[in-house]
Amino acid sequence: MKQITLEQKRTILLDILTAVDAFCERQKICYSMACGTMLGAVRHKGFIPWDDDIDIYLPREDYTRLEDVFPDILDGKYCFASLRRTKGWHNAYGKIYDNRTYSANNKANRIAFGINIDVYPIDDVPDNEAGWQTFRKKQKKAVYDVKYKTLSLSTGNGFKRNLLLLWKKLPIMFKSREELLKKLDSLAQSNNGKGYTTCFENCQGLIQQHPFKKSLFGSIATWPFEDRVFHGFEDADAYLSNGYGDYMKLPPKEKQVLVHGYDTFWKD
């Protein structure tokens, strides 16, 4: 297999989002760039120089519709894997990937996929701080239970790390990953339809710490990103300051390193 360079990977990521953007436009599906992708659009007009992934958010109803209408293969190369669409899927959120590529990062996963963008459903959460904190505690536990179930003991981990992982695995030893994923998915959607005005990335959401206003999805704008234009929150400041604080300030040099860096290849 021929290895894909970082520059090539970023082009493939842009091509995936370009295809998804056009598809969502045709289907009247709402999405926004999110996380480091939204930050990159505002601060760098493209990828954060030390980033190599793309994230998008969809309100739950739009995410469900995307699951329903996305074809088996879009444009002959893009596939959408999600908990409801894909047997044996290992996340409570989805990924749209280029099926011509392979990732060396997914050997432990049951579904083979390559270069991909993360597709996160966004769900309601309690508006009041006490209610949010109570829910957040349950949500984080559910996310970590899935994570610990997926991780395996390894001689490369070292004794202490394996011992800690074993301790985390004990309470979920007799639960399948599928059972834990369904529990997380159900919990993620448990506050929908209750009239709350705030929302969160409930199916993952370990980096982001604070919920944001659902109304942000009501005003979507177009933002330049590299040599393309994609959808993002018109009030990007409200989203980014909520999640990152002083988001225009660059992190220290020692933290300007690839977080997701892993080898990717063209399939033979």
Indicate whether 226 pLDDT > 60.
yes
pLDDT digits (tens, 9 = 90+) for 13-47: 999 999 999 999 999 999 999 999 999 999 999 99
The pLDDT value recorded for residue 162 is 76
Q: Please give the Cα distance from 63 to 103 (Å, whole number).
A: 25
- 262, 240 contact by CB (below 8 A): no
Eight-state DSSP code of residue 223: E
pLDDT at 140 over 70: yes
Q: Is 56 exposed, middle or buried (0-12, 13-18, 19+ CB in 10 A)?
A: buried
Closest CA to 183 of 85, 109, 92, 82: 92
Residue 2 bridge partners (DSSP): 266
The closest alpha carbon to 83, from 74, 75, 92, belongs to 92
Q: Distance of alpha carbon 48 from its chain centroid, rounded?
A: 16
97-123 pLDDT tens trace: 999 999 876 544 555 678 999 999 999
